[in-house]
Amino acid sequence: MECDGWGPANDALKFAYWLHRRGVPRENIRLCLSALEENHQLIGECGLTVELATEQNISDIVTNFLSPKLGDLLYIFWAGHGLITSERERRLLCADANKQNWQNLDLNSLLVLLGSDKFQIRNHICIIDACANYVLESKGRPTNLGGKAFLSGQPHKDSQQFVLLATREGEKAEVNSDNKTGYFSKAVREAFAKANGTFPPDMREVTEAVKQRFNSLDKKQLPTYFYSRSWDGDIEKSHFNPFNIPHNIQQSQAREFVGRDEQIEQLRQLLQANDIVAITDMTEKGGVGKTELAIQYSWQFLEDYPGGCCWLNPQGINIRKQLLDFAILYIPNFTIPYELSRANRLNYCWRNWQRNQVLLVFDDVKDWMQIQAYLPPRGSQFKVLITTRQNTGLIYPSLKLGALSPDGALKLLTTLLGKDWVERELEFAKKLCDFVGCIPIGIYQIAAQYREQTKGSC
């Protein structure tokens, strides 16, 4: 599917040709292009049935043509305009969008539909070469975009999705105007070519190849993917790092990160103003999402720390060893003189780290004395982020994390139990959130218990 410009049209056509060469019948390929004049010659030469990439046409293809089809695997390729709404939803702009009517597709609702019992094809690979710029009302873009949101059914137990996105939130998908192709689309095609004819190609290998390609490009664009399997939720998220910034950030365990946008921004401001900041637990009971907030912050602002992001576990092996191992592994030409004492090895590490801003994350600190000897010098290039349940004895600026707002808790429960169920059982859903005090871990636990008790009937 494609919605604007000669370059995206070229990319869509090349992807369609690739599918056909791999044995996909022409009648199984639905190709939508914009009606721009420069596309007319391409449309005439392609030999495939071409439709306009309007919101109505694409919606009809998804809901009326594809939904009842039986098959093993569905590919969706999109090259064109995209954006992020004020609610942080990815939208794909259609060919009939204009400044008065921003015709668009809600990507998340499309993915939910694909994984529901209203869709018969269980496995999906979605490749999205589109910008993810934030909506700015000052530039003439409405805050409430409307657009096509797909209605879904009950989730399939055995659905698998692999979604490869050209950008993180807020980023622009760069286009090579000279070659009339998106840098991301070209990198994906090159990765397909390296698959040596294997069909379907291993998408993790494809994504790794795309990562390596972007390592060589000077583009502030970070391809990212997520892979989900089954409603019970094995979900894997990865943010690839074309800037080659060293890090050992933990992978997110959240199905969807909701209700903490304000806290992410507060944390960013605190770390800009202070060398050491703590995320504390207002409840002192755990489960409010301190570690997840640190993970999300570290990923979202990784490029602000070109000297690296070092994740440390005070409950694991010796912290000094964790720091030195990270430096030896990730800092070019870093070696520790053998004759140095153990105490001076850490000082040597601070003095010989890359001369760029660094983020150190001490996760789940149970005793302040655990980390005091391993804090870097004040006023250096190091920023320190601490997660802890403790509120007593705290001498650092802190972000006190508590329960989600009622709306945030309900949104998380909707993610876990489905929009249809929450809308049908709204009052009961609110009571469930209230019962666990709107604490994230409590919502996860009670949702899992409810699914088990109802054996999927919800």
For 4, the token pair is 């604007």
Residue linked to tokens 């994984």: 115
320 close to 346: Cβ distance less than 8 angstroms: yes
- The β-bridge partners of 148 are 105
152: phi then psi, degrees, rounded to nearest 5: -115, 170
pTM over 0.95: no
- Decide if pLDDT at 219 tops 50: yes
Quick: pLDDT tens for 410-421: 888 887 888 888
What's the whole-number mean pLDDT along residues 246-263?
Answer: 75
Pairing of strands 382-388, 90-93: unpaired
Alpha carbon distance 24, 66 (integer Å): 15
Handedness of CA 193, 196, 197, 198 (dihedral sign): negative
Quick: pLDDT tens for 18-71: 998 888 998 899 999 875 555 556 555 666 778 889 999 999 999 999 999 998
Quick: pLDDT tens for 108-152: 899 999 988 899 998 999 999 998 887 654 455 555 677 888 988
- What Å distances lie between residue 100 and 4, 81, 103, 145, 146, CA to CA? 17, 16, 9, 10, 12
- What Å distances lie between residue 435 and 409, 432, 443, 448, CA to CA? 11, 5, 9, 15
The CA-CA-CA angle for residues 174, 177, 178, to 5°, reads: 135
The CA-CA-CA angle for residues 370, 315, 344, to 5°, reads: 50
Residue linked to tokens 């490029």: 303
> In 3D, which of 185, 386, 397 has the Cα closest to residue 293?
386
222 close to 171: Cβ distance less than 8 angstroms: yes
- Decide if pLDDT at 101 tops 90: no
